[in-house]
Every structure is written in structure tokens, then in C-alpha cells.
Amino acid sequence: MDAVVQPLSLASPSPRVTVRLAEVISALTYALDLTEGQRPGHTLRTTLIAMRLSEDLGLDSESRAALYYASLLKDSGCSSNAARMSALFGSDDQALKRSMRLVDWHDRWRLAMRTAKSCGIGLDPISRIKHFLQVARTPSLTREIIQTRCERGAQIATVLGFPSATGEAILHVDEHWCGLGHPVGLAGNEIPLLSRVLLLAQTFEAYWIEHGLRAATEMARARRGTWFDPALVDRVLAWHTDKTWWDKLTDMVHLEEQVVALEPGMTPMVATPERLDRIAFAFAAVIDAKTPYTARHSTNVARYAVSIMGEIGADAQTYRDVLRAGLLHDIGKLGVSNRILDKPAKLTDDEFREVRKHPTWTLEILRHVQAFEHFADAAAQHHERLDGRGYPFRLGGEQIGTMARVLAVADVYEALTANRPYREGLAVPKVVDIMSRDRGTAFDPHVLDAAVALAENGILAELAEVTENGFEELQRRGAPAPVVLLSNAA
């Protein structure tokens, strides 16, 4: 029997508040910590260390602003190498990244030992040896992995409209003072100062949070003149006795508040609607870069959801909210290992349980962002069903709002029609047949009917392929008016 289907409610819950850009990006850094395998608050603590260094150095306000946002966005490219690392090492990418960040690459013996311990965790000895040999035989592996991450992070900073110095700092964050870093191999003062600051700040934080202040201090002293600019190390070592300041970095309750308060400039940057859209698109790119299996999933779900909402009818803010919710609905997948996401075989029950955690992480992350919290529930409910058999919250009927119902349909439609390495995307008639079997049980009939009409008219297929210049033509051919919001996704 069909589940009870409640009438659609299209009122927008979106608040009309002014939000600082620093607040939005600071809150979203927890997602970056998740995919980079770092402890919660890693990026924020790195930013505090970097900004104190900038004060000690007497940097001008322009340089401090560039460093501030470089610190917050330094790991925005980290998802782009997750699949590659997990496949080569045969291990969870998050744990692998956290472990490898602590090793000194210049010490070949220690690097080899750490690599051996990190390969094929949980696998049989023969498989572990095979993965180790695979890593050892891959030329320039470290450079390749770092270059992918740094170039992607710098690109995202540019897309978000930050100054070139911000992107440059991210691009060269893993260059070492001695010239043996990556991706270019710059040395000494050839390395941008902001990159030198950022490398020391993030490495010191990683050691400090894992092993304590003494171990971090010893690490900085040992790598002085090899990894790090000696003058910067001397400044950080001088803080060793400032216990009050280090204690502030452990205050998770006020960590974001501390970071936001340090935003350089007399007038804080405001998160305008256009900037919020760019942030949503940028983080959708971070999400989709996590695995090659879903290269455009978030963008397409957002496009389909806006188009479906256009068929149903809603106000302008609701269109914008469903766009952002679609772009960010899978942000929780940044916490799922690529060892699971990219597995070619059937998942075990334990692996399914891990995958099914991602909507909960989506909810936690988006609730943390003031500008996005009003659609956090809807974004996190994209795997719920009207009959209560969805996950992870087991909601049903009227407990599931309109936006979540739209996202649920858009998400499944995209997954079925998109090409995957293991199969071609299904044809529209086949997808319609499959989804229609769950009409009224999994999917809201009104939403599904709207999606089917768009699919059969070819609108959804064109949305997945259209470039920015093609949106006007698409609207002339019958696409709903709010599709103009999607031009930024081209």
C-alpha cells in the first residue's frame, strides 16, 4: 500500500540575516578536516597559528587577509587525491593522510617504514606487500599527489574570488626550505612567505594535537632549515611558555569565534547571496572530486532539483535554497573512506553502515553554517522514503518536507542516468519504469510526476550537459524559469 502523501508545502523557511563570509568558510572547514583525516578543528587551529605568526612578522593587512583565507581553504583540494591514495595504498584515505602528514619525507628509512605500516591495513600479508610494492614502484608519487591537491585548492580559492596571493600560498604550501618539497621544488626565499608560514602552522598543529606541545616543538626544531624557514621556527618556539594561548586552541566551543574575530580588515566581508552560491558550487566540486564514480553528481542533482521545483512552483528564495541544498547534500560523504566508495564489489553490512552515516554528517556540517542551517534537515533527508523505510533517520510521510522529497527524486534519477565505470547510464524509459515502482512509497507522486515530465521532454538530460551559454536556449524550449540560477554550474 502507498504511504500517506501529505500536500506539498512550498513556503520558504530561509532567514533574512547578514552573515560574515569568514563565519561561513570557518564552519565549513570541519568538512575539509573530515576528508583530510585531521582532528576536528585542525584548519581553525592552523589559522590561529598562522595569524599569530603574521602578527609577529608585521605583515600588512593585504598579506594578512590573503594568509587568513589561504589558511581556511588550504585543504579545499584534498578530496581530489583521495581515490588515488586509497587505491594505491589499499587503506582508508583519511587515516592514511593523517598518518603520512606526521612523517618526515626526507628521512627515507622512516618514510619507508611508515609507508609499509600504512599499506593494506586490514588485508592479508600478501596483499599488504603487493600494495607496498605498488607504491614503491610508482615514480614521483608524492609529487603527483601533492600537486593534484595544491593545484585544485588554489583553483578553488581563485573561483571564490580571493586574491592571487591566497591561491599562491595554497599552491606552494608543501614546498620545503631546503628545496626538496613539492610540487615545484622551490627553496629558501623562492618560496612565497605565506606558504612558508602555512606549512609550519599546519604541520605544527598536526603534531601538537596528536603528541602534545613538547613533541611539536621538537619536530619544528628538528626540521628547522630543512622543511621550515629557520626564522619562522624561532618565532614559534618563542611561544613555548605561553600556556594561556595554547590552552585557547583546545577550546572547541569558542574556536570558530576566535578565528572569525581575527578576520583582517576594518570591514568584514559579507556572505552575499552570490558569494554563498559560489561557496556552494565550490564545495560541490570538493565533494564530487572525492570519487571518480560521481564526478558531476552534486551539480546535476542541484540542477535537476531546481528544475523539478520550477515545475511545482515556489518563491525565489526556495529555488535558491534547493539549489544550495542539492549542491551540498552529499557533503557528509567526505567522511566516508574511498576504500568503501570506490569498492568494485558488493559492500559488506559494516561498509553499508559506514556509507549510511553520510546524511548524518551532512546534517551536522550544514547545521554548523548559519547561512545553510535552515535547509540542513532537507539536505540530510535525501535518502528518506515516504513509507519510513529510508535512512538514516527512518522518517516518513509528513515528517519529510517538500525540499527533501525533491532532492530524493533528483538524487536517484541522477544516480540511475549517470555513466559509471561499471555501467552505462540507464535510458530515460528504463529509469522512469524503475522509479515509478516506488511512486507513493519512496517518492512523492507530485514530485516524481514533475521529474518524469522533465525527463521525457529531454530537459533533465540537457541540464546535465548544457553550458552557460545554453541556458537561455533551454528556457526558450520550455525549461522552468528558475533554471537561470544554474548558470554558475556550467
Which residues are designated catalytic?
333
Cell of 230: 629557520
Cell of 97: 593522510
Distance separating alpha carbons of residues 206 and 472, to the nearest angstrom: 49
Helices (H) and strands (E) in the chain, counts: 26, 0
CA gyration radius for the chain? 23
Amino acid (one-letter) located at 294: T
Distance separating alpha carbons of residues 37 and 334, to the nearest angstrom: 10
Do 442 and 454 touch, CB atoms closer than 8 A? Answer: no
Q: What is the pLDDT of residue 228?
A: 98
Cα–Cα–Cα angle for 409, 411, 412, rounded to 5 degrees: 70
Q: What is the pLDDT of residue 490?
A: 47
Distance separating alpha carbons of residues 171 and 97, to the nearest angstrom: 18
Do 278 and 82 touch, CB atoms closer than 8 A? Answer: no
For helices 297-312 and 273-288, give the axis angle rounded to 10 degrees.
Answer: 130
Cα–Cα–Cα angle for 343, 348, 351, rounded to 5 degrees: 70
- The torsion angle over the Cα atoms of residues 205, 208, 211 and 212, rounded to 10 degrees, is -170
* Strand, coil or helix: 404: helix
Amino acid (one-letter) located at 451: A
Cell of 271: 556572505
Splitting the chain (490 residues) into consecutive groups of 10 residues, what average pLDDT does each group show? 45 60 94 92 97 96 96 94 90 89 88 90 92 88 89 93 95 96 95 98 96 95 97 95 91 93 86 92 94 89 93 86 96 93 88 94 95 96 96 95 97 91 86 96 97 93 72 59 58
**Which long-range CB contacts under 8 A does 340-345 form with residues at least 24 apart?**
341/83, 341/290, 341/291, 341/293, 342/83, 342/86, 342/87, 342/291, 342/292, 342/293, 344/422
Distance separating alpha carbons of residues 110 and 4, to the nearest angstrom: 61
Amino acid (one-letter) located at 56: D
Q: What is the pLDDT of residue 30?
A: 94
Distance separating alpha carbons of residues 182 and 230, to the nearest angstrom: 19
Q: What is the DSSP letter of 38?
A: P
**Nearest to 281, CA basis, from 300, 265, 266:** 300
Distance separating alpha carbons of residues 71 and 162, to the nearest angstrom: 12
* Strand, coil or helix: 427: coil
Distance separating alpha carbons of residues 102 and 43, to the nearest angstrom: 16
* Strand, coil or helix: 51: helix
H or E element at residue 113: helix 108-118
Does the N-terminal peptide bond of residue 192 adopt cis geometry, omega within 30 degrees of 0?
no
Q: What are phi and psi of 423, to 5 degrees?
A: -165, 160
Do 118 and 96 touch, CB atoms closer than 8 A? Answer: yes
In Å, the largest CA–CA distance within the chain is 72
